[in-house]
Amino acid sequence: MTDYTLIIGNKNYSSWSLRPWLAMTVARIPFREVLLPIREGSWDRDIGKYSPSRRVPVLQHGDVTVWDSLAIVEYLAERHPETRLWPAEAPARALARSATAEMHSSFSALRRHMPMNLRASLPGRGRKDGVAADIARIVELWGDCRARADGAGPFLFGAFSAADAFFAPVVTRFQTYAVELPDEAAAYRDAVLALPALIDWYGSARSEPWTIGEDEVD
């Protein structure tokens, strides 16, 4: 039995859901998963029962409800310090939190024009205004993190951290839209794509029957 319930949206499209799901799965924090297909079936009736913001993801823990992906990961990092969701050293932790917060609040062109869509293969698509600048900033940021990582390993700060969970949906976009990357960024992308938990999420996404028209780039 687990104390946590994580309510998520469609695995094919819900990039915000992927973040805490991946963090919890890689960190081996057990949870019960409830998947509500976005704007399908009883969504309108059910979402308000779970989420005050009417958005996913949401974490339920006893009588505590945490909505918003970043708040969820912070809540878990505080409760499970042994999982090292944030790097151990303060300077690396500050950088990890800055990078994660930047991911959470920025890159609107990339998010708008290259929506997460794990089933799709759309090489070269989505290269609209602002996207190249977002990609360049992400590559720069990944390089800064890798340069100041405080441990060994292929992730942004060596060992897997919350920052990797937050950039995982960017990695999947780079894969879907075949974004060319410099070697170091490509190696990081490949390390994230090789995470068994992400491979598992992809498998579920591929078998989902739902389509969100506005997230399908033509």
Q: Which residues bind ligand GSH (CB under 6 A)?
A: 9, 14-17, 38-39, 55-57, 68-70
Q: Min. distance of Cβ 188 from ligand GSH in angstroms?
A: 22
Residue number, 17 or 83, with CB nearest to ligand GSH: 17
Q: Which residue is nearest to ligand GSH (CB)?
A: 55
Q: Min. distance of Cβ 152 from ligand GSH in angstroms?
A: 30
d(CA 124, CA 58): 33
Q: Min. distance of Cβ 169 from ligand GSH in angstroms?
A: 9
Residue number, 186 or 210, with CB nearest to ligand GSH: 210
Residue number, 114 or 185, with CB nearest to ligand GSH: 114
Q: Min. distance of Cβ 193 from ligand GSH in angstroms?
A: 20
Residue number, 8 or 149, with CB nearest to ligand GSH: 8
